[in-house]
Structure 1
Amino acid sequence: MSSSEQSTLLLQRQLRDLQRNPVEGFSAGLVDDNIYEWEILVMGAPDTLYEDGFFKTRLSFPSSYPVMPPTMRFITEMYHPNVYPDGTVCISILHPPGDDKYGYEDANERWSPVHTVETILLSVISMLSSPNDESPANIQAAKEYRDDYSQFKKKVQRLTRQSAEML
């Protein structure tokens, strides 16, 4: 069996598992019946600035999954220190395995084939509730989060309201 056939079977099983036992705060489905492209709806967790929001994301898997990580990108506008302005999520477990050439992350914090879609989604929940402003993807959001939290909060709450209205 080829590695792409193995990744296809693994992704089919992970999708089936998520549909049988959903992770609270998320729903998942395929984009155009492509097992390598998933649309995830992230529901803003209670007691976070994103509460009551509905944020569409795209999870794109390489054919080398689970050896290499997927990429995750918010389709719905998102303002967060760990989300690039283009919507790409920047969390350690989505970084390629091995040592970080910049020395910010230990190899054990980065992608490992033991991670699943569920562990990715749980990491996104954690990221939304506890931003890491020490290693930001969106420098402006991190600066506001640190230096002008009320302005940061206003932007996030406006986008959260908009996300709910767009559904």
Structure 2
Amino acid sequence: VTFVCSTLSLSRQVGELNKNPVEGFSAGLIDDNDLYRWEVLIIGPPDTLYEGGVFKAHLTFPKDYPLRPPKMKFITEIWHPNVDKNGDVCISILHEPGEDKYGYEKPEERWLPIHTVETIMISVISMLADPNGDSPANVDAAKEWREDRNGEFKRKVARCVRKSQETAFE
């Protein structure tokens, strides 16, 4: 039953996003025969250091979606406190549902089955605009963001934005 639910849910979502695109990102299947692997293009949000960037990422859904969250990984290089050096995105709504064993996040901040690709992407765009320096996945980026936001951090982000523009449509 779960498998049928997840397939229907993902199929409906891909159709809906194709019909009614949401500002700030586009999403589609990497391979038409695999509903569990998506590619998303995120446009760097206006009035942020990421503005003008075109960042490619992959969403990989578990077979028991929507009971469990997908994993999200940037394919385009990005310098951000909440994205580890391998590109893995670390934000609350992509964390497994339930209690946080470290007591940092409330259960309602973590994955809930009501989340969709759209709500995930809106959270990721919001994360780009406003990093969470208290819970970094990339400690070096978080340190620079706190201590040298308009210097080294800004330079590294600008380099990623330029690189993303050059490689966006490869």
What is the TM-score normalised by the length of structure 2?
A: 0.96
SS in 2 for 1:35: coil
Aligned to 1:125: 125
Aligned to 1:54: 54
Q: Deviations over 1:57-79 (max 9, x none)?
A: 00000010000000100000011
Shift of 1:45: 1.1
Aligned length: 166
Aligned to 2:24: 25
Q: How does 1:16-165 map to 2 (within 5 A)?
A: 16-33=15-32, 34-149=34-149, 150-165=151-166
Q: Which runs of 4+ in 1 moved over 6 A?
A: none
Structure 2: distance between partners of 1:114 and 1:98: 14
Structure 2: distance between partners of 1:38 and 1:139: 28
Identical aligned residues as a percent: 61
Structure 1: distance between partners of 2:104 and 2:2: 31
Structure 1: distance between partners of 2:54 and 2:126: 16
Q: Which runs of 5+ in 1 are unaligned?
A: none
User: 2:160 is aligned with what amino acid?
Assistant: L
Aligned to 2:11: 12
Shift of 1:128: 0.2
Structure 2: distance between partners of 1:135 and 1:30: 30
Shift of 1:31: 1.1
SS in 2 for 1:122: helix
SS in 2 for 1:62: coil
Shift of 1:26: 0.7
Structure 2: distance between partners of 1:17 and 1:31: 17
Structure 1: distance between partners of 2:95 and 2:128: 18
Structure 2: distance between partners of 1:21 and 1:124: 19
SS in 2 for 1:59: strand
Shift of 1:105: 0.3
Aligned to 1:166: 167
Structure 1: distance between partners of 2:30 and 2:163: 23
Q: Considering only aligned residues, what root-mean-square deviation do their CA atoms show, in Å?
A: 0.7
Shift of 1:165: 1.1
Shift of 1:32: 1.6
